């Protein structure tokens, strides 16, 4: 609970209605798209950079944690207020301030929804490339904070490759621009440091992003495979031939079943796995690439191949892929999801390890992931109401991530470390590495008020604390 006087100070900044401190309402803000939850002491709705700055000044003066929050679709607990404090909601800052057709850039507020930006940009023949599966709802501010990826990041790169500059508010409430209009950063790349800092270094209030010309021709292929192993071999073969498609996605049999039930996209439900491959460019080149890829897939046991014939068909294939994680709710109401990355050549090994771990713990696992860049998404499916399985889920998740690391992989491809994976950081970073990161944190936020408890391992915290209070969220603990 924040003192009444602080609440009053906050209300004077953003207005009475824009501060929520009723405990029962705060409960509704305890989670994001991941499974852990912790209640904020207040939710503050900012409408401008001035609001964000003034709120952070108050927080700094009283040493209150501040956690910026967009749509709350994140999958690593980035927006969870694990040490209480202020959830600083930027969802009302949703103006697209400028689209420059010649420079091919957009200046947006952090609450602009990813897909909305691409829809507006499309009127100028442009699009915003990073396309997380939650793009219907997630915000550009959240994308920049988490350095989000998406299916098309295989070819186009992740968020940091598309952010040209940002207006940020630092831990003392001061407002700064980092980088700007130029495509190259001269000097130390501060913008690069802040993109992906998960709210621990700054709050983002404006973002200048690169837009790209919508390619004249796009081809989307769907292919079935007898097993997840054969599909992985096909992925390696495509990339091994020197072809980098715009996107190369895999879904296993469990996922396909769930997705097909909602989208009726025509995914073959009997397949062991399916691949969704997209290439874009000029028509001649996409035709050539499609033919080459089809042959490679067929040589690697691919069957029932089809190419989307209309934009609507293409959209439907993608809707299925992007709604996949949500669709798993048809099997079990909760998922525990990691997003480790392995070198592509290790895909078959890591996937069989994931399968074995699931079997060992007798837990259903659904795989849906960015196969092209080796970015796994094994979803362990369970029901939080069944208290007995929770420890199994926790242990299985940890083992899967361990398998990823042992095969030379990384903890996260795009979801961020957040709360969920902070305990595992020492698996891949030495004390010196972590110390260097700590020192960067200290430069920006020595007092530690910005999104505390994230990224850095907290020795007193269990990795995931699967002992909940509500049967709805897993109560996040840091003490």
**Interacting residue ranges for other proteins, rule: CB under 8 A:** 20, 22, 24-25, 27-29, 31-33, 35, 43, 45, 71-73, 89, 91-92, 94, 111, 113, 115-116, 119, 134, 136-138, 259, 261-263, 323-330, 333-335, 383, 385, 469-472
CB of 373 to other proteins, least distance (A): 22
In the complex, the smallest distance separating the C-beta of residue 131 from other proteins, rounded to whole angstroms, is: 14
Backbone angles phi, psi at 120, to 5 degrees: -70, -40
Name the minimum Å distance from CB 158 to other proteins: 20
Closest CB to other proteins among residues 30, 445: 30
- Angle of helix 4-14 relative to helix 49-62, nearest 10 degrees, comes to 160
- φ, ψ of residue 213 in degrees (nearest 5): -70, 135
Whose Cβ is closer to other proteins: residue 139's or residue 422's? Answer: 139
- CA atoms 144, 148, 150, 152: torsion sign: positive
Nearer to other proteins, 80 or 178 (CB): 80
User: Which residues, 6 or more positions from 51, have their beta carbon under 8 angstroms from its beta carbon?
Assistant: 13, 14
Residue 460 CA, distance from chain mean position? 26
Write down the least CB distance from residue 234 to other proteins, Å.
26
If the CB atoms of residues 91 and 159 are measured against other proteins, the closer one turns out to be: 91
What six digits make up the tokens of 278?
A: 């997209």
Closer to other proteins by Cβ: residue 87 or 235: 87
Contact 421, 76 (CB under 8 A): yes
Q: Are the CB atoms for 223 and 275 separated by under 8 Å? A: yes
In the complex with other proteins, the residue whose CB is nearer, 60 or 368, is 368
- Based on CB atoms, which residue is closest to other proteins, 32 or 249? 32
Kindly state the smallest distance separating residue 389's Cβ from other proteins, in Å. Answer: 15
Work out how close the CB of 408 gets to other proteins at its nearest, in angstroms, rounded to a whole number. Answer: 30
Distance between CA 67 and CA 461 in Å, rounded?
19
The Cα–Cα gap between 46 and 454 comes to 22
Q: Are the beta carbons of 303 and 272 closer than 8 angstroms?
A: no
Contact assessment for residue 198 and residue 417, using Cβ atoms and an 8 Å cutoff:
yes
CB 34, CB 8: distance < 8 Å: no
Q: Which is nearer to other proteins, 219 or 328 (CB)?
A: 328
Residue 302: DSSP 8-state: -
Tell the smallest beta-carbon distance from residue 172 to other proteins (Å): 26
Work out how close the CB of 470 gets to other proteins at its nearest, in angstroms, rounded to a whole number: 4
Angle between helices 283-299 and 228-240 (to 10 degrees): 130
């Amino acid at each position: 609970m924040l003192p009444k006087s602080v609440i009053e100070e906050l209300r004077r900044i953003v207005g009475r209605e824009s501060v929520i401190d009723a405990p029962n309402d705060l409960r509704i803000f305890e989670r994001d798209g991941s499974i852990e939850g912790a209640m904020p002491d207040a939710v503050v709705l900012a409408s401008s950079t001035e609001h964000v700055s003034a709120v952070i000044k108050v927080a700094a003066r009283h040493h209150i944690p501040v956690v910026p929050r967009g749509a709350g679709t994140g999958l690593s607990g980035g927006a969870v207020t694990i040490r209480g404090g202020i959830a600083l909601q930027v969802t009302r800052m949703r103006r697209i301030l400028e689209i420059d057709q010649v420079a091919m850039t957009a200046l947006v507020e952090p609450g602009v929804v990813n897909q909305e930006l691409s829809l507006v940009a499309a009127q100028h023949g442009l699009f915003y490339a990073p396309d997380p599966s939650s793009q219907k709802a997630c915000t550009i501010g959240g994308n920049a904070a988490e350095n989000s990826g998406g299916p098309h990041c295989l070819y186009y790169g992740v968020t940091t490759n598309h952010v040209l500059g940002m207006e940020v508010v630092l831990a003392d409430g001061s407002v700064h621009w980092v980088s700007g209009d130029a495509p190259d950063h001269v000097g130390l790349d501060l913008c690069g440091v802040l993109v992906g800092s998960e709210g621990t270094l700054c709050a983002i209030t404006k973002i200048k992003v690169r837009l790209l010309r919508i390619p004249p021709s796009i081809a989307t292929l769907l292919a079935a495979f007898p097993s997840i192993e054969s599909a992985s071999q096909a992925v390696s073969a495509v990339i091994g031939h020197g072809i980098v498609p715009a996107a190369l996605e895999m879904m296993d049999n469990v996922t396909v079943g769930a997705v097909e039930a909602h989208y009726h996209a025509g995914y073959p439900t009997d397949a062991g796995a399916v691949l969704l491959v997209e290439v874009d460019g000029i028509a001649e080149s996409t035709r050539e690439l499609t033919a080459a890829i089809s042959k490679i897939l067929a040589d690697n046991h691919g069957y029932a191949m089809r190419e989307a014939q209309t934009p609507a068909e293409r959209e439907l294939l993608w809707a299925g892929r992007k709604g996949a994680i949500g669709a798993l709710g048809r099997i079990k109401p909760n998922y525990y999801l990691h997003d480790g990355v392995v070198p592509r050549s290790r895909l078959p090994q890591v996937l069989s390890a994931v399968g074995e771990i699931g079997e060992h713990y007798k837990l259903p696992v659904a795989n849906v992931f960015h196969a092209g860049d080796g970015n796994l998404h094994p979803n362990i499916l369970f029901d939080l109401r069944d208290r007995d399985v929770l420890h199994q889920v926790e242990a299985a998740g940890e083992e899967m991530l361990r398998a990823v690391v042992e095969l030379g992989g990384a903890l996260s491809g795009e979801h961020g470390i957040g709360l969920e994976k902070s305990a595992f950081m020492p698996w891949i970073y030495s004390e010196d590495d972590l110390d260097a990161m700590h020192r960067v944190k200290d430069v920006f936020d020595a007092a530690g008020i910005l999104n505390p408890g994230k990224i850095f391992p907290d020795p007193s915290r269990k990795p995931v604390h699967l002992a909940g209070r509500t049967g709805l969220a897993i109560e996040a603990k840091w003490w």
